[in-house]
Amino acid sequence: MTDQAYNFAYLDEQTKRMIRRALLKALAIPGYQVPFASREMPMPYGWGTGGVQVTAACLTPDDRLKVIDQGADDTTNAVSIRRFFQRTAGVETTERTTDATVIQTRHRIPEQPLSEGQILVYQVPIPEPLRFLEPRETETRKMHELEEYGLMHVKLYEDIARHGEIATAYAYPVRVEGRYVMDPSPIPKFDNPKLAGNPAIQLFGAGREARIYAVPPYSDVVSLDFEDHPFIASKADHACDLCGSAGSYLDEVITDDRGTRMFVCSDTDFCASRQAQGHRGRLSPQGATP
Amino acid sequence: MYVAVKGGERAIDAAHAWLAEERRGDPAVPELTVAQIREQMALAVNRVMAEGSLYDPDLAALAIKQARGDLIEAVFLIRAYRTTLPRFGASRPVDTAAMAVDRRVSATFKDLPGGQVLGPTFDYTHRLLDFALAAEAEVPPAPMAPASDEPVPHVTGLLDRDGLIEQQPAEDTPAPDLTRQPLELPASRALRLQALARADEGFTLSLAYSTQRGYGRTHAFVGELRIGRVAVEVELPELGFAVEIGEVELTECDTVNQFKGSKTEPPQFTRGYGLVMGQSERKAISMSLVDRALRWQELGEDFTGAPAQDEEFVLSHCDNIQSTGFLEHIKLPHYVDFQAELELVRRMRREAVQMQEAAE
């Protein structure tokens, strides 16, 4: 049921137009952070207001929306955002990655490869990859203009010198189409390779910071590294205890107070689909598939 | 055994129902009405209107009721409502010199045209709990005096006539709109004032206090503080003249700041300015001190590294709705990122232990 008191997908058409213009600009300059007149939304800043505004500007009545947080459809904030669009746009929703035309996500890229025509909308807390190296926006904008990314390379080098490896596990910086260094939002670096050459449109919305950026389909996206310390997309060295998948990103669940743990897919749709196909993990009631 | 996290939807519904029950409190105690909040919690209502940047005492009172008295939550409700409202146009600048003042004090002159009017202030109350209020007794009426027709000119205008205070030529450029354009730096003074007018009272107060303690000192005197009602006029193109559409209560503060002169400016008094919706004098005074501190560049002063002088720092962090949203978002699930960190820390520990063992 649509709430008649509000325009389709909550935002008024002028605001959507302003956001769409920012989105087009962002797609035209991959990885570049486009300032936009972010609106105050009925959910708090930092809870996905950027993603919600981008999704609202993209949705049409025929769309099928999927919302995930930490890879799962049933986490509370994903439920809350999905309900928001059910209420204000009345669009169909789905938990199936393949069936969705628009997917709003926080912290994950679905395991199921995306296809042409799909839009993946990321919620972004801090869009500026250089922010924790230089707190001033006036400075970091200049650094992007001049393609001055030395500071970032020094940081990565210092990590290696100190820890033997690049000590960034999520929000791992990438370079888009050989030009802009971009924050892929706090996805685990395991997901970074999926950014590159992806047939879907990837849009990033940061509401509080009022920035939009994008990775067009089939873009070149490279995780920053060094020849002698190449980027490795790492994950827990286990298979999913429910579906047996050895190639998906896992959540660690503590099951008692003696340190017993199990590992399960963070992507709940992926895990459920595999279980429906008969795949079993170590702790499945019917036992693991051989 | 863990199967999969399910039930988020039911949990949210149950949480909302419980919240509604807690909001009401003990049903044996009569429920608060919005009108009671509007009339008896007026300063809370004023704060919510100011920081919510929407002048509507009834809605602000409703927001306070809905937010269970959490004023930042109430500001948030107002902001989220405000953003959906259509814009019909902009009013003419309000004339605060023509304000019908309830209160008007100057700390720089003992007496002045228009006089000192104390008004309904806490200033000289002794902060002793008044147990009579707990008994809900009738309030005897305050003594009345006829309203004065005497004009109440601005103190800064009086100083201006002698050339003792910096000139402030009128400007016709339309004010920028922080809520319709992304903040770009450096910001004009008009934009900074707009941000400060809706900034968190506590943050603004602390910054202003820090300038008094030496972090960007500006030697401020309250030239004038006035609270009262001003007419809001709108130019109607069809009519060709301005029409009064209502009035709003405002608090205005002009500080007069000692200034020895700089490389570019002669010795003179300089100004800091605060204007806040409703009766919010702590906020208005704080705002004028922070405004003055932020003007260091324009007046050719040195940047001493004080937080209150740092425009980007102040403007990026003064909004309590942005701050509270981002602060509180860390209670959302982060287990994907935490898992990635766990792997990293485990691997680095393993390597560190191996290296240590190899060294032994």
**B217-268 per-position pLDDT tens digit:** 888 999 999 999 999 999 988 888 999 999 999 999 999 998 877 777 778 8
Query: What are the tens digits of pLDDT across the range A137-190?
Result: 999 999 999 999 999 999 999 999 988 889 899 999 999 999 999 999 999 999
Contact indicator for A53, A20 with CB cutoff of 8 Å: no
Confidence category of residue A4, pLDDT binned at 50, 70, 90: low
| Res A286: pLDDT | 67
Put simply, whether A253 touches B (Cβ < 8 Å) is yes
Put simply, whether A254 touches B (Cβ < 8 Å) is no
For residue B30, the SS3 value is coil
pLDDT at B44 over 70: yes
Dihedrals phi, psi of A93, to nearest 5 degrees: -120, 160
CA quadruple B186, B187, B192, B195: dihedral positive or negative? negative
Sort strands B270-277 and B241-257 into parallel, antiparallel or unpaired. Answer: antiparallel
Question: To the nearest whole angstrom, how far is the Cα of B335 from the nearest Cα of chain A?
Answer: 7
* Token output for B115: 């006089």
Question: Which chain B residue's Cα is nearest to A283?
Answer: B1
Rg over CA atoms, chain A: 20
- The residues of A annotated as belonging to the active site are 31, 240, 243, 265, 271
Cβ separation of B325 and A167 shorter than 8 Å? no
- Rounded to whole angstroms, the Cα distance separating A283 from A269 reads 18
**pTM for the whole structure:** 0.90
Put simply, whether A231 touches B (Cβ < 8 Å) is no
Sort strands A201-206 and A250-254 into parallel, antiparallel or unpaired. Answer: unpaired
Strand arrangement, sheet containing A201-206: A34-35, A211-215, A201-206, A119-123, A102-106, A64-69, A92-93
Closest CB from B3, B80, B337 relative to A40: B80
According to DSSP, residue A95 is labeled S
- Please tell me chain B's helix, strand, coil percentages from 3-state DSSP, rounded to the nearest 5: 40, 15, 45
CB interface of B with A, residues 168-207, below 8 Å: 179-186
Confidence category of residue A259, pLDDT binned at 50, 70, 90: confident
* Token output for B235: 């130019």
Q: Which residues of A touch B186 (CB under 8 A)?
A: 138
Question: Which chain B residue's Cα is nearest to A210?
Answer: B182
A263 forms bridges with which residues in the sheet? A252
For residue B173, the SS3 value is coil
Put simply, whether B326 touches A (Cβ < 8 Å) is yes
CA quadruple A114, A116, A122, A127: dihedral positive or negative? positive
CB-based contacts of A242, cutoff 8 Å, min separation 6 = A264, A265, A271, A275, A281, A283, A284, B3, B4
Inter-helix orientation angle B57-66/B71-82, to 10°: 130
Lowest mean pLDDT among A41-50, A144-153, B78-87: B78-87
CB-based contacts of A53, cutoff 8 Å, min separation 6 = A11, A15, A19, A38, A39, A41, A205, A207
What mean pLDDT value characterizes chain A?
Answer: 94
A105 forms bridges with which residues in the sheet? A68, A122
Interface test with B, best of A7, A45, A213, A249 (most B CBs within 10 A): A45
Query: What are the tens digits of pLDDT across the range B173-215?
Result: 888 899 888 988 999 999 999 999 999 999 999 999 999 999 9
Q: What is the ipTM of this complex?
A: 0.86
Long-range contacts formed by A255-262: CB under 8 A, 24+ apart: A255/B1, A255/B2, A262/B1, A262/B2
Cα B53 from chain centroid (whole Å): 9
Distances (CA, A) of B59 to A12, A131, A193, B261, B338: 22, 38, 49, 47, 41
What mean pLDDT value characterizes chain B?
Answer: 92
pLDDT at B6 over 60: yes
User: What mean pLDDT do residues A52-60 have?
Assistant: 98
pLDDT at A5 over 90: no
* Token output for B52: 């919510």
* Token output for B273: 């300015």
Closest CB from B3, B86, B337 relative to A107: B337
Query: What are the tens digits of pLDDT across the range A266-289?
Result: 999 999 999 999 999 998 876 655
User: What mean pLDDT do residues B95-102 have?
Assistant: 94
Confidence category of residue B82, pLDDT binned at 50, 70, 90: very high
Cα B159 from chain centroid (whole Å): 28
Contact indicator for A186, A107 with CB cutoff of 8 Å: yes
- Rounded to whole angstroms, the Cα distance separating A32 from A26 reads 6
Put simply, whether B321 touches A (Cβ < 8 Å) is yes
User: What mean pLDDT do residues A191-218 have?
Assistant: 97
The amino acid occupying position B159 is L
Cβ atoms within 10 Å, residue A265: 28
Distances (CA, A) of A73 to A95, A269, B6, B247: 6, 8, 9, 49
| Res A1: pLDDT | 43
